[in-house]
Structure formats: C-alpha cells, structure tokens
Amino acid sequence: MKVYTKTGDKGTTALFGGTRVPKHHIRIDSYGTVDELNSHIGLIRDQDINSKYKETLIHIQDRLFTVGAVLATDPEKAMLKNGKERLNIPKISSENIELLEKEMDTMNEALPQMTHFVLPGGHQTVSFCHIARCVCRRAERLATALNEIETIEPNTLMYLNRLSDYLFVLARKLSYDLKADEVKWIPEKH
C-alpha cells in the first residue's frame, strides 16, 4: 500500500464517507490537532516514567484515534435516513471519561493541595505534559467551534475537556515523583 495517493495535491482531502473538503476546513484542523496531541502524548510515554502512567497513556492514545475518527467523519454520510449508522465509527464512552477522572483522583491523593497557579516547567518530562495539555485545549477549542457548525457527539467534547485536566494533574504528579520544583505563580506587584 502506498502512503501517497496524489488525491490531495489540489488542497482537498476526503472525510470518512467520501466527502471532499479543503485541507484548511475546521474539521481537518480539529482532527489534525488531535493527531498532534497524540504525538505529544507519545513523547511523554517515551520518558522514564512509571509504567502505570505509560499504560494509561497508551489507552489515551487509542481513544484519541477514536476522537480523530469521530471528527473525520462527515455526519451526513455517517447515518442512514432511517437513523441507523452507515459507517461503523467507534465512540467515546462515559467509561472512557470516568477512567480519566479516576486516574486524576488517584494522583491527586498523593499531591499537596494546590494553592496557586503553577508555572509550566521544572523538568523536561513535566514540560512535555504542559505542552500536551495546551495542544489538548486547542483541540477542544477547535472541536467546540466545529460543534457550532455540525453537531459532535457530546462524549467526544467531554473527553477532550477531561483529558486536558488529566494532563495537568499528570504534570503535577510527575513534578512530585521527579522531585522537580513546582514554581507557584505569584503575580508581581507593580
């Protein structure tokens, strides 16, 4: 199978279902940003971190492929006129969202209470988490903008929202585990 198809040489690409759209379409930007996020999560997973975190990150990467598939599907082509699904696209479940919540609760139990915003950084691995969190927020902004044009399944949006929270808590937990400084943001007085 060849990677190149030449069908996008004029600036369009196909969604699941066959609809062609410009490569700058918000739907393409949405799932492209999810793909970027998935790559950043791979970078975190490649660090010297606890194997439990790595297992969770692999699960998240799998779920992000699902989010990407949802975002890459033309909603008009996904359903038949009788309301049944035409395309067999996986979905984000409430259990996927609950897993992130449980992981955050577990990590938070070991962390000191947060009293201030924290500055991103302190250790390279922690910084990778903060970058992933920011990319996740961008993916969420794009997906919610797309949702105003074409409705997206609510669990997809909730998953992206919860995932950015998870990545923040993971950054704090990794700071703790790596004994890195967590620098509090205390606004300068002018």
Residue 183 maps to a domain:
no
With cut-offs at 50, 70 and 90, classify the pLDDT of residue 84.
low
Q: Model pTM?
A: 0.88
Residue 111 maps to a domain:
yes
Residue 77 maps to a domain:
yes
CATH number, position 137: 1.20.1200.10
Selection from 168, 144, 169, 170 nearest residue 157 by Cα: 144
Please state the domain count of the chain: 1
Residue 38 maps to a domain:
yes
Residue 188 maps to a domain:
no
Least confident of 23-27, 120-124, 143-147, 160-164: 23-27
Residue 154 maps to a domain:
yes
Domain that holds residue 48: 14-177
Residue 184 maps to a domain:
no
Instruction: Render pLDDT for 105-141 as a digit per residue (tens, 0 to 9).
Output: 999 999 988 777 888 888 999 999 999 999 999 999 9
